[in-house]
Structure 1
């Protein structure tokens, strides 16, 4: 390792720390020491400092302790006579710089509260480019993608490319691989984020291109995101710095791209990232760190050409990614799923309440379909005028020796994701309420409706090859044809819904596991039954059954229930044996239908969390989209942080939104009639199912008896409402003995 890079990195560390110390002293002159500091709507204080040092920085006064640690971390300056290895002191200087960056950004939020735009998307028209630290709702929503593997890692890009075109090319290469891109810093006043905007690239969390901030200090938001993953999904306790850093090295695949001249402060930042096992790959000729024998990913590599920087970064960090080559004129990949097609960029659209747009997939006789045949019946894009709204029917016929009719809705739902993977095409909704918007940019590249069929044929074959042999796609754009397809589809939808809704846990002898989240929550084992969907809301019993057929060695394994040990609480001997083995003995048993007694383990991917409210003799639930206070005294983010790492926590349990209205929901504790509080937005989202389930239980107005945040956010505030409405929970036996 070069003495020069050690000298630069350590000098950069001293520069950064000195600046922050000076800024902190000035802040104390302007603000009271008890002034609150932190990142908005997060439960992790300053996450890098909290996770590695265990220090909760909540006020200006609290900053003094980490500053003392930072100053002690700074090593002696490199001298010409010093021939000792430089790596250790350099890493300490880098860590000091990262800690100081986080304090600097906390002071930014204090002194310039409107600088960062608290949102998933930018507001370019009003100059709101920089998004700053991710709110916990955004973090947990996006963290799921790192859990299920749809996001293999992230690239933290600092600086700017030589031109907007080069910046766009690099970022699109990462998008094709579903790799998140976090943007920070600038070169001579120009940032990569600004270059992408100039090149017409949509940026924000929804496109996986996240502009954190214009200074090098904002790169700390990327490291904070990584450490929050370790705490929220991996259950690593704050303050256990060794486990935090090793978790990131082994599970969060990330790296840094430095674009442009690397000064001393950037060198310190690169050294800091090495502590996480995150290498830095630069486009300039900089002194390198190429340790051998003791390290895996801890490199700083310079002078990499822009055409090679993506592949070199992936190779250096050891990422495993695949790219689906689809024969269409537009780029294709999961990174485009969140892309919006706004009015000013819209060429044509279908559905969205303006016309009928229906998607339907059915099992067909293999003799009656031709694999790869894609037909458009009616006008295609070249026949349409800009601004036109047209009806659309997407009819997919599949055949396979291993395909079962129960798999139809599972594959049909893939339409939403796969159409969204096309750059310049937006898809929303499903079934007969879909909405497709096609941009000018996609049409300029030559996109046609036939390409929808090409994508569906290629990707369904690729992802479901174990059960599919043939796929034929027909696209309808004439009203009479779309209406006929819609009538046929609605009859199938009705049959499917009734079939799934009527299934019970007693009807089957086999449940299914889901261990997708174990990469982040090692002790968590989700068991999915007909009456208890997966915590994330993405998997029901039939989905898991299909997944097992598709991939017999995957995360969805059959579990023979075995002897029923407790029919009321929902506990089976076979499930216990599987859970004990899958959690490596960390969890020996749990109950399906209770949060009071030994509830199922919970991971950070859950859609909602239920909690006991003893003072109201009931329970509450809160979903991740709700950011306010709750009667249990904790927000969703706090609840998920406390018990989302794979723990079985009596009094709390994670669950899906759909599970709330399933018949066995918390039936061991009294069931849905115990529900005394949930956010208003959640009530509205599941209103129809709540009404139906309440009527089944003899309480048709149950939804109106459940309090929400408009009534109160403490047990004391909601109790008068519950008494006035004569909530059934008040007359039930005590929820705790």
Structure 2
């Protein structure tokens, strides 16, 4: 008798039958694909260079086309057929993990075939399907920086919509990502003796659909991510973690031991099984256990799954829904920090980017319909904790109103410096955007906020803006801030008065900071945040060159050191200059040598030819030499095509990341392209001869400004893109045709 839809898990026998059913389904889908497509048809997840990441990461063998699937099916069949039900009954046996891994490979093939039109549509209604690499990088860095503690891979449905909403809300408050796939009671219908090919059996509803019914917003911005209706779609959850390991951790495809350890340590997660557990859910959970994900369930779990004292193999059944989040965090050993504030709504990173629908928009504050600004200043007479609202409060305004808004934050501290003001002011966007029901947009004098009707009904007022700012400033910047007071203006004349004052301060700051050059300072700053996965990499930040991730500037390094002198940013005295043109100083080299554990002896900050700065996997762009063209190319992470040196970004990234110093290539941020120090030791912006069209368009203003500064205002038009050339000879022809200045410059070699 085959496994029927909705039937509870049937122990070891059912586990094996379900794995075999998965194999049959994968074979059937492959046959359908080959009937409609050539064997050379590309098989991939859109927007990713990591092929089918679980298969690639574990085996080291990329799946590029339909023909490549044959060996996966054979390998999976061997793993499944070599495990008997008797083996799976042995206590603490890892046989279930081997079968689970095979099922993950099959599931990854099944999910990829959906993009060829075989099986249900992968992107449909609320279901998002596979995440592109751009999303993986943007979200993956949060795991590396530990701004998120981990993710929950949820299968099944909650007992009620109310319970589903409560679970999601609690996970959000803990800053967890919630990856959702699979229905409640989902099984594979196999038929008697597998004579008939299997189909997915519909079980019930899904957690994602319950959340939609409860009015909860789904998507990456809210960290509630619905991958797919079928449990197989959880390969996108595991695949996300695998790609993070390869992209940020430098894990080599095929090094499965390092891969498993990295994911377990750096991308921690757990499986949540809601409702009665089926065999299909068991085999998917067993596959996830290979990567260190324990399984926590609301009902009984068959003894098929290994259960030991090892965290990665923990199986915890019969956990009541109201204890599920806390118990999962405890079992997995996650570190969560939730600040307590006296405000009537939830607060957490998960609410950043929260959308407020028009029918729930209670108030619009500031830009674009009314004046708005925010200003942070150092002051002497500051009463800590004082919050003042000047003008109408929320309860004085009707639904749908628009009100001007001015926020003045005054701080005092023995270690507070004037240079820190714009840095702390910039944090207001992040601090206020993490309020549930409040959306903060823009900064400075282009400030706007949206406040939801739900937040107003919960009791949120303008006063709470000040309470939040006061609380978080003390929590995160106590090393430099001793006292904080906040004034919120909602009266038009007072907002305009503050706006005039603020604009004068902005101008003065821009003149001071904008004119700051590397020659103006005696110290640069280091950043070693990424040494946890690139141990020999050291990033050097200067006033004219931010970190290669684009997220940290010289000023950020300066304030980071003031906040935490033992942290990742340290001041570095330049000391004796060795080569002013190429940017080499004795003090910088000495620091880099020590901080790289002796791996790097020297770096040239303004040149990539001999001693470029090292890199980790967090870079935004890579530049490299095109010898024939006497110039350089610059490529960003979102470009998936060929580069004129004959490789793709994935190959190039492997050459430079992990702390390697690779002469001729340099990883850097996007905005560095527009800096006066952009490879100035090699000829600067005039050497730029090729870049992807999208990157060229997005940096047009910066490139044109830099080009004007060196007397070539038409340079932007003379830079080739993939639309003009993808081979170096073709780039050379293009440059000759348009008269690119690099051809008339001194030879690079």
Where on the TM-score scale, by shorter chain, does this alignment land: which range?
over 0.9
Pair 1:436 & 2:433 matched: no
Supply the distance in 2 between the matched residues of 1:158 and 1:589 (Cα, whole angstroms). Answer: 51
1:648 deviation in Å? Answer: 2.7
Q: In the alignment, what sits opposite 1:321?
A: 336
Corresponding position: 1:64 with 2:70 = yes
Higher mean Cα deviation, 674-683 or 486-495? 674-683
Could you report, residue by residue, the CA deviation over 1:556-600 in whole angstroms, capped at 9, with x for unpaired residues?
122333433332222333333333433334444332112232321
* Residue pairs, 1:286-305, within 5 angstroms: 286-287=301-302, 291-292=307-308, 295-305=310-320
8 Å Cα contact 2:372/2:448 also seen in 1 = yes
Change (3 A) 1:396 1:513: same
Other-structure match for 1:591: 604
Answer yes or no: is 1:133 the counterpart of 2:130: yes
The answer as to 2:210 corresponding to 1:192 is no
Instruction: Give yes or no for the alignment of 1:339 onto 2:341.
Output: no
In the alignment, structure 1 segments of 5+ residues that lack a partner are 118-126
TM-score w.r.t. the length of structure 2 is 0.91
The one of 260, 270, 277 aligned to 2:292: 277
**How many residues get paired?**
722
Pairing 1:167–2:164 present: yes
Q: 2:271 aligns with which of 245, 250, 256?
A: 256
Post-superposition CA distance 1:504-524 (Å, at most 9, x none):
323333222112222333332
Cα offset for 1:287?
3.4
Distance 1:538 1:113, change over 3 A: farther
CA distance in 2, matches of 1:616, 1:299: 58
Paired residue for 1:124?
none
Shift, 1:43, TM fit = 0.1
Q: Which moved more, 1:90-99 or 1:594-603?
A: 594-603
2:92/2:308 contact within 8 Å kept:
no
Asked whether the 8 Å contact 1:234–1:521 carries over to 2, the reply is yes
Is 566-575 or 140-149 further displaced after alignment? 566-575
Q: Is the 8 A contact 1:602 1:654 kept in 2?
A: yes
Asked whether the equivalents of residues 525 and 572 of structure 2 are also in contact (C-alpha less than 8 Å), the reply is yes
1:116 is the counterpart of 2:116: no
Structural RMSD (CA): 2.5
Match for residue 426 of structure 1 among 436, 439, 442: 439
More divergent stretch after superposition (699-708 vs 655-664): 699-708
Q: Which moved more, 1:76-85 or 1:168-177?
A: 76-85
Q: Are residues 1:48 and 2:63 paired?
A: no
Contact 2:94 2:306 in 1 (8 A): no
Q: Residues 488, 344 of structure 1: CA spacing in aligned structure 2 closer, same or farther, 3 A cutoff?
A: same
Describe the SS at the equivalent of 2:402: coil
1:183 to 156, 159, 180: 180
Following superposition, the deviation at residue 475 of structure 1 comes to 1.0
CA 1:638 to 1:162, structure 2 compared with 1: closer, same or farther past 3 Å? farther
Relative to 1, partners in 2 of residues 1:51 and 1:404: Cα closer, same or farther, differing over 3 Å? same
Task: Look up the match of 1:146.
Answer: 143
1:31 aligns with 2:46: no
Q: Does residue 21 of structure 2 align to residue 15 of structure 1? A: yes
Partner of 1:228 in structure 2?
243
| Partner-residue secondary structure (3-state), 1:155 | strand
Q: Is the 8 A contact 2:655 2:662 kept in 1?
A: no
Contact 2:429 2:441 in 1 (8 A): yes
Q: For each residue in 1:336-377, what CA deviation from the matched residue of structure 2 results, as whole angstroms up to 9, or x when unmatched?
A: 102112333322212343222211100010xx2211111111
Per-residue Cα deviation, 1:252-304 (whole angstroms, up to 9, x for no partner): 111111112211121111111111111111111223557446x2332111111
Q: Quick one: structure 1 residues 338 and 69, their matched pair in 2 at CA, closer, same or farther if it must change by over 3 Å? A: same
Q: 1:107 to 1:690 in 2, by over 3 A?
A: closer
Structure 1 residues 540, 438: closer, same or farther in 2, change over 3 A? same
- Unaligned regions of 5+ residues in structure 2, if any? 1-8, 185-202
> Judging changes above 3 Å, is the alpha-carbon distance between structure 1 residues 328 and 433 closer, same or farther for their aligned structure 2 residues?
same
Q: Residue 537 of structure 2 is aligned with which of 524, 538, 550?
A: 524
Partners of 2:677 and 2:656 in 1: how far apart? 22
The TM-score with structure 1 as length reference comes to 0.92
Alignment deviations for residues 280-331 of structure 1 (CA, whole Å, 9 cap, x no partner): 11111223557446x2332111111111111111111111110011211111
**2: CA distance between counterparts of 1:572 and 1:112?**
59
- Deviation digits for residues 478-500 of structure 1 (CA, Å, limit 9, x no counterpart): 22222221222222222222222
